[in-house]
């Protein structure tokens, strides 16, 4: 199929839930992709922070193929060694004690919501089921997690939304004190609001949140679906602040291409969800776990250091580009505020010129594969620099 066939067929059959760009990606290697016309792209998106090891990573391909030829799926009614290895390794690397495997970020958050509510119910009975989340947050698209998402634009059409959710402004400690009343069982935060515009949270706010939650036996849940698994240069982004949450949820980068979500918690909360209270048919599928183990094998301290270094390298270059106002974020999760040019136009021009890059709200967002080489970084940045310079000067960008 050539591009037009793919596009026309897709437009005929899919529910139009995605505003897609005019390219059909067919293969990739490292951080370089190829479309249906053979055109190459440098990838600064990693499938939205998913492809940590980029494309066709040798160890990952081997691990997944070998597991696919051995045991493909087995019900969670039985033990299996691959899933067990991943659980133990994730707990060891993160410093948490118990884990539940789901299939996506939203589902990992659903698990955290259920855990927090049951923990509170078991100890205090009814009337303490409220989940507090932050204004401008993003926690997923299931009915509960879209309700937990603190953005009004998501709270349309699908009424009635589940009850028991409340929002408080990010970095406002006084408002947080008021929001955390006796009806609350959990506070959800993101260390860097990803979909919200790559906005790192204040450390004073995290500190206050940790103290208030501990005081009132409210579970502090850190949604690390986007920031987790090395993305920011630490295994989990909360480590930058030193305030350990009670629960961490993660997904995107752990899967490195395959769908997985995980909810990790401290031992104290580790036995709240019992047989019959939660579960998942596909959660912790052995093929996916074999791939995820490869991601963890890759992420040693050296690699975390490298991710930080690559991020700093990119940030330093970006800050000097024409049209750039400021760069924020940590590690290889970066947001670029532009002076005047709309980010969406830049993204479209970059695609024309062989670079995939994202937006978040009104800024550009970079989430390259963690394995991206400096050569690929330079190639991608050169395209971005050129597009920004020409757009800043109001010139049409000609395809090279």
Ligand X SMILES: *Cc1c(COP(=O)(O)O)cnc(C)c1O
State the minimum distance, in angstroms, from the CB of residue 91 to ligand X.
21
Tell me how far apart the alpha carbons of residues 53 and 237 are, in angstroms, rounded to a whole number: 18
Q: Please, which residue, 249 or 379, has the CB nearer to ligand X? A: 249
Q: Please, which residue, 223 or 352, has the CB nearer to ligand X? A: 223
**For helices 286-298 and 81-94, what crossing angle results, to 10°?**
30
Which pair of tokens denotes residue 190?
A: 């993101």
State the minimum distance, in angstroms, from the CB of residue 208 to ligand X.
21
Q: Could you say whether residue 138 binds ligand X (CB under 6 A)?
A: yes
- HSE, CB side, 13 Å, CA atoms: give it for residue 335: 18
Q: Could you say whether residue 105 binds ligand X (CB under 6 A)?
A: yes
Taking CB positions, which residue lies at the least distance from ligand X?
105
Cβ neighbours around 400 below 10 Å, total: 8
Q: Parallel, antiparallel, or unpaired for β 184-189 and 130-134?
A: parallel
Stretch that binds ligand X, among 123-131, 189-197, 320-328, 350-358 (CB under 6 A): 189-197
String of contacts with ligand X for each residue 252-281, x by CB under 6 A:
x-----------------------------
Stretch that binds ligand X, among 5-13, 84-92, 171-179, 188-196 (CB under 6 A): 188-196
Query: What proportions of the chain, in percent to the nearest 5, are helix, strand and coil?
Result: 40, 20, 40
Q: Please, which residue, 265 or 388, has the CB nearer to ligand X? A: 265
Stretch that binds ligand X, among 12-20, 133-141, 279-287, 314-322 (CB under 6 A): 133-141
Cis before 160? omega within 30:
yes
Q: Using CB under 6 A, pick the residue from 52, 83, 104, 120 that binds ligand X.
A: 104
Q: Could you say whether residue 139 binds ligand X (CB under 6 A)?
A: yes
State the minimum distance, in angstroms, from the CB of residue 137 to ligand X.
7
Q: Please, which residue, 199 or 381, has the CB nearer to ligand X? A: 199
Tell me how far apart the alpha carbons of residues 334 and 198 are, in angstroms, rounded to a whole number: 7
User: Given the rule CB under 6 A, which residues bind ligand X?
Assistant: 104-106, 109, 138-140, 190, 194-195, 223, 225-226, 251-252
């Amino acid at each position: 199929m050539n591009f037009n066939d793919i596009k026309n067929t897709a437009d005929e059959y899919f529910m139009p839930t995605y505003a897609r760009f005019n390219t059909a990606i067919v293969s990739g290697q490292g951080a370089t992709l190829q479309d249906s016309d053979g055109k190459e792209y440098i990838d600064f998106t990693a499938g939205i922070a998913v492809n940590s090891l980029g494309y066709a990573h040798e160890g990952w391909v081997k691990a997944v193929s070998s597991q696919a030829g051995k045991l493909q799926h087995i019900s969670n009614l039985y033990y299996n060694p691959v899933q067990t290895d991943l659980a133990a390794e994730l707990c060891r690397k993160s410093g948490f004690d118990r884990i539940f495997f789901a299939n996506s970020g939203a589902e990992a958050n659903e698990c955290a919501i259920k855990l927090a509510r049951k923990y509170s119910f078991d100890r205090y009975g009814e009337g303490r089921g409220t989940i507090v989340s932050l204004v401008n947050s993003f926690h997923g698209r299931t009915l509960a997690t879209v309700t937990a998402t603190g953005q009004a634009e998501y709270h349309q059409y699908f009424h009635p939304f589940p009850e028991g959710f409340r929002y408080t402004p990010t970095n406002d400690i006084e408002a947080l004190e008021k929001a955390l009343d006796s009806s609350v069982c959990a506070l959800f935060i993101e260390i860097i609001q990803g979909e919200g515009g790559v906005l790192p949270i204040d450390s004073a706010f995290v500190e206050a949140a940790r103290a208030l939650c501990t005081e009132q036996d409210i579970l502090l849940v850190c949604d690390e679906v986007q920031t987790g698994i090395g993305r920011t240069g630490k295994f989990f982004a909360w480590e930058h602040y030193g305030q350990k949450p009670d629960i961490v949820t993660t997904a995107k980068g752990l899967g490195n291409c395959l769908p997985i979500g995980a909810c990790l918690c401290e031992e104290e909360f580790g036995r709240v969800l019992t047989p019959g209270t939660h579960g998942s048919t596909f959660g912790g599928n052995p093929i996916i776990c074999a791939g995820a183990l490869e991601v963890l094998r890759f992420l040693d301290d050296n690699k975390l250091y490298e991710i930080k270094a690559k991020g700093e390298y990119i940030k330093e270059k970006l800050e000097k580009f024409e049209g750039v106002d400021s760069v924020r974020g940590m590690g290889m999760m970066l947001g670029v505020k532009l002076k005047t040019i709309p980010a969406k136009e830049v993204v479209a021009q970059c695609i024309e010129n062989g670079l995939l890059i994202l937006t978040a709200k009104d800024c550009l967002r970079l989430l390259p594969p963690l394995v991206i080489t400096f050569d690929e970084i330079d190639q991608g940045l050169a395209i971005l620099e050129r597009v920004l310079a020409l757009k800043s000067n109001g010139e049409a960008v000609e395809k090279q």
